[in-house]
């Protein structure tokens, strides 16, 4: 199970300003979207609250949005309705995707926003990537964004408290991440995330969730992509940056 059911309710407080509107989120991928026709068939397989999926539908693409979390899928369907976008939503974890879609269905699959580390260990990660690869047509592309886990692990276990209030939907919140870094890369790690909303009367409303994580090194990801028939076409990986994007095409 992915977790994220409690966080779905407060997910706005966790995402950057640039991801808040569907159009902006989709336009952050302008360069890769140039690689597919405007009526392409695309899948966002960890759709979260749906901004990317709805943004892609707004560009005229045929969009399917899936996520392991029922609450996230519900929020994506609501956002889609709000924008009158045509997005098909399905609750499915990565390994279940081939039960829902034929091989070769999509021109592009997105797995973005630091999602893949939730796959259980190296085996779970390869199985998840294998599903994504199967659903791509030959020449289709997987677009994956990731934290630079090398940096996260180097910092060790810690508590990160936001140094500013995050303002969303007329409410301010303090966001806290507790990173529980395990001794070895392959061990299960934990990340506890709390969103504490503070109102003008001083009341605090907190939501939190403990998430499991299996970080990976960039070289491991490259090997895994290759193993499932995907060839890295573009990568922004750089040990000095917090996040990177990889675009890999189906051989």
Ligand X SMILES: C[S@@+](CC[C@H](N)C(=O)[O-])C[C@H]1O[C@@H](n2cnc3c(N)ncnc32)[C@H](O)[C@@H]1O
Q: Single out the residue of 12, 93, 107, 222 in contact with ligand X (rule: CB under 6 A).
A: 93
Q: Is 68 in the site for ligand X (CB under 6 A)?
A: yes
Tokens representing residue 246 in the block: 């990889």
Of 46 and 89, the one with the shorter C-beta distance to ligand X is 46
CA 65 – CA 162 distance, rounded (Å): 30
Q: Which stretch binds ligand X (CB under 6 A): 80-88, 110-118, 171-179, 226-234?
A: 110-118
Q: Is 149 in the site for ligand X (CB under 6 A)?
A: no
Q: Which stretch binds ligand X (CB under 6 A): 111-119, 175-183, 188-196, 234-242?
A: 111-119
The number of residues making up the chain comes to 251
Q: Which stretch binds ligand X (CB under 6 A): 113-121, 168-176, 188-196, 202-210?
A: 113-121
- Reduced to 3 states (helix: H, G, I; strand: E, B; else coil), residue 240 is coil
Q: Is 101 in the site for ligand X (CB under 6 A)?
A: no
Query: DSSP character for 151?
Result: H
Q: Is 69 in the site for ligand X (CB under 6 A)?
A: yes
- Report in angstroms the alpha-carbon separations of 79 from 20, 89, 181, 194: 11, 11, 34, 23
Q: Is 12 in the site for ligand X (CB under 6 A)?
A: no
Q: In the bound complex, what is the minimum distance in angstroms from residue 73's beta carbon to ligand X?
A: 9
Q: Do residues 79 and 51 lie in contact, with contact meaning Cβ atoms separated by under 8 Å?
A: yes
- Reduced to 3 states (helix: H, G, I; strand: E, B; else coil), residue 160 is strand
Of 93 and 222, the one with the shorter C-beta distance to ligand X is 93
150 — phi, psi (to 5°)?
-55, -40
Q: In the bound complex, what is the minimum distance in angstroms from residue 72's beta carbon to ligand X?
A: 4
CA 195 – CA 235 distance, rounded (Å): 32
Q: Is 48 in the site for ligand X (CB under 6 A)?
A: yes
Q: Is 143 in the site for ligand X (CB under 6 A)?
A: no
* Nearest residue to ligand X, by Cβ distance, number only: 113
SS3 sequence of 16-65: CHHHCCHHHHHHCCHHHHCCCCCCCEEEECCCCCCHHHHHHHHCCCEEEE
List contacts with ligand X (CB under 6 A).
2, 4, 15, 19, 46, 48, 67-69, 72, 93-94, 112-115, 118-119
């Amino acid at each position: 199970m992915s977790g994220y059911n409690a966080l779905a309710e407060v997910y706005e407080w966790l995402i950057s300003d640039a991801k808040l509107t569907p159009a902006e989120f989709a336009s952050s991928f302008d360069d890769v979207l140039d690689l597919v026709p405007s009526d392409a068939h695309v899948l966002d397989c960890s759709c979260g609250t749906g901004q990317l999926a709805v943004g892609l539908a707004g560009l005229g693409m045929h969009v399917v949005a899936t996520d392991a979390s029922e609450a996230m899928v519900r929020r994506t369907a609501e956002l889609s309705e709000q924008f009158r976008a045509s997005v098909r939503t399905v609750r499915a974890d990565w390994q279940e995707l081939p039960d829902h879609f034929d091989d070769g269905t999509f021109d592009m699959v997105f797995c973005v926003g630091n999602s893949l580390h939730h796959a259980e260990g190296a085996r779970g990660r390869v199985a998840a990537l294998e599903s994504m690869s199967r659903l791509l047509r030959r020449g289709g592309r997987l677009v994956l964004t990731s934290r630079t886990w090398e940096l996260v692990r180097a910092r060790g276990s810690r508590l990160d408290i936001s140094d500013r209030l995050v303002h969303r939907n007329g409410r301010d919140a303090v966001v806290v991440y507790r990173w529980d870094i395990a001794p070895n890369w392959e061990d299960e790690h934990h990340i506890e995330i709390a969103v504490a909303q503070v109102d003008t009367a001083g009341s605090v409303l907190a939501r939190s969730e403990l998430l499991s994580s299996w970080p990976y090194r960039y070289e491991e990801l490259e090997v895994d992509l290759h193993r499932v028939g995907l060839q890295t076409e573009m990568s922004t990986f750089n040990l000095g940056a917090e996040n990177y994007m990889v675009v890999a095409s189906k051989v």
